Amino acid sequence: MSKNLTGFPESFLWGGAIAANQTEGAYLKDGKGLTTVDLLPIGEKRFPIMIGKLPSFSPLEGEFYPSHEAIDFYHRYKEDIALFAEMGFKTLRLSISWARIFPNGDEIEPNEAGLQFYDDLFDELKKYNIEPLVTLAHFDVPVHLVKEYGSWKNRKLISFFENYARTVFTRYKKKVKYWLTFNEINMLLHLPYIGAGLVFEEGEDEKQVKYQAAHHQLVASALAVKAGHEIIPDAKIGCMLAAGMTYPYSSNPNDVMDAMDKDRESFFFIDVQSRGEYPGYAKRFFLENDIELDMEENDEKILKENTVDYIGFSYYSSRVTSTDPKIQENTTSGNVFGSITNPYLEKSEWGWTIDPKGLRITANQLYDRYQKPLFVVENGLGAVDIPNEDGAVVDDYRIAYLREHLKEMKEAIRDGVDIIGYTSWGPIDIVSASTGEMKKRYGYIYVDRDNLGNGTLKRTKKKSFEWYKNIIQTNGKEL
């Protein structure tokens, strides 16, 4: 027994997670191209675009696009990283915007200004010994690839993505060791435009299109793993799942089966990325749904030989399912995946179920299934913060949420699950991915900006700032 089952290992990577499009702003600066997320306004058009039902290829008059300025991290990252360092971050998860490196996505030569921006950013992190954890694709595809090629519907995207991955691996090989390929790859099934830039045409078979696009992403992910291992010998390259176990509402075997099927919709992706082959249940699903994947001869070999080193996942809530139509009426939202209301649990202001024990259960479930190190790369509470008359944000609700989740994560480690790090979502307030709001805040650092872009962008520490700092300092001993 070599494992220390008392809690967090000394090497545990504490930190926070952000994404380019929700943070950087400067959306066309220094040669960056337009990406899919730059076309998501706040308001009623957002959802139809996110699910691929409302085509949009350029910003519309009269709409407000939060990603265009976001929190201006592009110009303020030094100040923000200094604050992360003050909290003692060991790691910062961030994404590279594909369109900063290849503005159109299909060029051969990269945009030097884009490469230089991330070079400087990584140097800044290095100053404080903060290890970067980099996502290659966090919900953004260069819009040119959507217009000209149909985005991930088209097999050509694989080689464009591989070229992008090879370019950044080569450029940052001395600076970045931890990588993730696609953020929440299973989101493709729920928000196909966000996950894969998919826009559906009238009469198109959506299931067929989504799984074909998924196949292209899975092959692209495997080729990125291959390239990463070739270029950076000590690289750790992971996949990333929007996780959260599905509970059956009752002990009726039909509910239990349904819960298993719902989980498999998501596991499908990780089964391929981690085990290297399409699982039997997926083959049956394809057959019964008339889905025929167009594969090339080498695809299966590529998937088999280039599996991921670790499993990254986000955890916000568990979900509940039932086969009883009456029970099904009582639904709630939760990181886009619908769920039935769990009568035992509270919800956030956005209706997301709060289930700390679900994190322990999910981590155990993933570890039992894959037997690879896990990395909790997102978790947190989106809440309305109202500064008091002194301008201070006393976010005890956030501390309570995080504390309970950290306790359960510690329990999972004591269960024997190999968890290598934890990056809470949005350590500084950023734009919400699902709604585009600024009002839905996750941060330890408050940013003065509202849903319509008013505000000074000034950064202020919230009460949770000192709390998280102490967690890191004590390596989670003082929860």
Residue closer to ligand BG6 by CB (options 131, 184) is: 184
- For ligand BG6, the closer CB: 145 or 242: 242
Query: Which stretch in 247-255, 341-349, 355-363, 427-435 sits in contact with ligand BG6 by CB under 6 A?
Result: 427-435
134, 179 contact by CB (below 8 A)? yes
Sorted by sequence, the CB contacts under 8 Å of residue 368 that are 6+ apart come out as: none
* Smallest separation (angstroms) from ligand BG6 to the CB of 179: 16
All residues at 6 or more sequence positions from 177 whose CB lies less than 8 Å from its CB, including other chains? 131, 232, 234, 235, 236
Question: Which of 184, 255 has the CB closer to ligand BG6?
Answer: 184
Kindly tell me which residue out of 219, 220, 242, 399 binds ligand BG6, with binding defined by CB under 6 A: 242
Candidates 217, 321, 335, 464: give the one binding ligand BG6 (CB under 6 A): 335
Q: Which of 184, 271, 299, 408 binds ligand BG6 (CB under 6 A)?
A: 184
Task: Candidates 295-303, 366-374, 432-440, 462-470: pick the segment binding ligand BG6 (CB under 6 A).
Answer: 432-440
Contacts of 246 (CB under 8 A, 6+ apart): 259, 260, 262, 263, 318, 319, 320, 321, 339
Residue from 312, 382, 443, 476 binding ligand BG6 (CB under 6 A): 382
Query: Which residue's CB atom is positioned nearest to ligand BG6?
Result: 434
Provide CB contacts within 8 A for 371, sequence distance 6+: none
The smaller minimum CB distance to ligand BG6, of residues 342 and 435, is found at 435
Task: Give the shortest CB-15-to-ligand BG6 separation in angstroms.
Answer: 15
In whole angstroms, how close is the CB of 44 to ligand BG6 at the nearest point? 16
- Is 429 a binding residue for ligand BG6 by CB under 6 A? The answer is no
Burial class (CB in 10 A: 0-12, 13-18, 19+), 208: middle
The least CB distance from residue 434 to ligand BG6, in Å, is 3
Residue 359's nearest CA partner among 314, 397, 321 is 314
| Least spacing, CB of residue 17 vs ligand BG6, in Å | 8
Nearest approach, Cβ of 39 to ligand BG6 (angstroms)?
Answer: 16
Bridge-based pairing state of the strands 331-332 and 319-321 = unpaired
244 is a site residue for ligand BG6 (CB under 6 A): no
Q: How far apart (Å, rounded) are the C-alpha atoms in residues 394 and 82?
A: 22
- The continuous run of DSSP H or E covering 263 comes out as helix 253-270
With CB under 6 A as the contact rule, the residue among 274, 314, 353, 379 that binds ligand BG6 is: 314
Q: By CB under 6 A, name the one of 217, 432, 451, 464 that touches ligand BG6.
A: 432
Six-digit token pair at 102? Answer: 């290849």
Instruction: Give the catalytic positions in this structure.
Output: 184, 378
- Kindly tell me which of 183 and 322 has the beta carbon lying closer to ligand BG6: 183
Which residue's CB is nearer to ligand BG6, number 410 or number 441? 441
Q: Among all chains, which residue has been given the structure tokens 């509910």? A: 255
CB atoms within 10 A of CB 166: 17
Cα distance between residue 97 and residue 80, in whole Å: 18
CB neighbour list of residue 284: distance below 8 Å, 6 or more residues apart: none
Least distance (Å) between residue 346 CB and ligand BG6? 17
Contacts of 442 (CB under 8 A, 6+ apart): 380, 381, 382, 383, 398, 424, 425, 426, 427, 429, 430
Rounded CA-CA distance 430/326 in Å is 38
20 binds ligand BG6 (CB under 6 A): no
Site string for ligand BG6, 433-462 (x = CB under 6 A): xxx----x----------------------
* Pairing mode, strands 246-248 and 236-243: unpaired
Return the SS3 of 137.
Answer: strand
- Does residue 375 touch ligand BG6 according to CB under 6 A? no
19 binds ligand BG6 (CB under 6 A): yes
Q: Based on the shown chain and the rule CB under 6 A, indicate whether residue 423 belongs to the binding site for ligand BG6.
A: no
Nearest to 360 by CA among 421, 420, 413, 424: 413
CA 244 to chain centre: 13
Among 140, 378, 395, 408, binds ligand BG6 (CB under 6 A): 378
Q: Which residues, 6+ apart, have CB-to-CB distance to 182 below 8 Å?
A: 135, 136, 137, 195, 217, 221, 239, 240
Taking the complex as a whole, the smallest distance from the CB of residue 211 to ligand BG6 amounts, in Å, to: 21
Q: Is 183 in the site for ligand BG6 (CB under 6 A)?
A: yes
Q: Which stretch binds ligand BG6 (CB under 6 A): 322-330, 355-363, 400-408, 425-433?
A: 425-433
Name the one range near ligand BG6 by CB under 6 A: 32-40, 70-78, 166-174, 428-436: 428-436
Chain residues that interact with ligand BG6, rule: CB under 6 A: 19, 22, 183-184, 242, 314, 335, 378, 382, 425, 432-435, 440
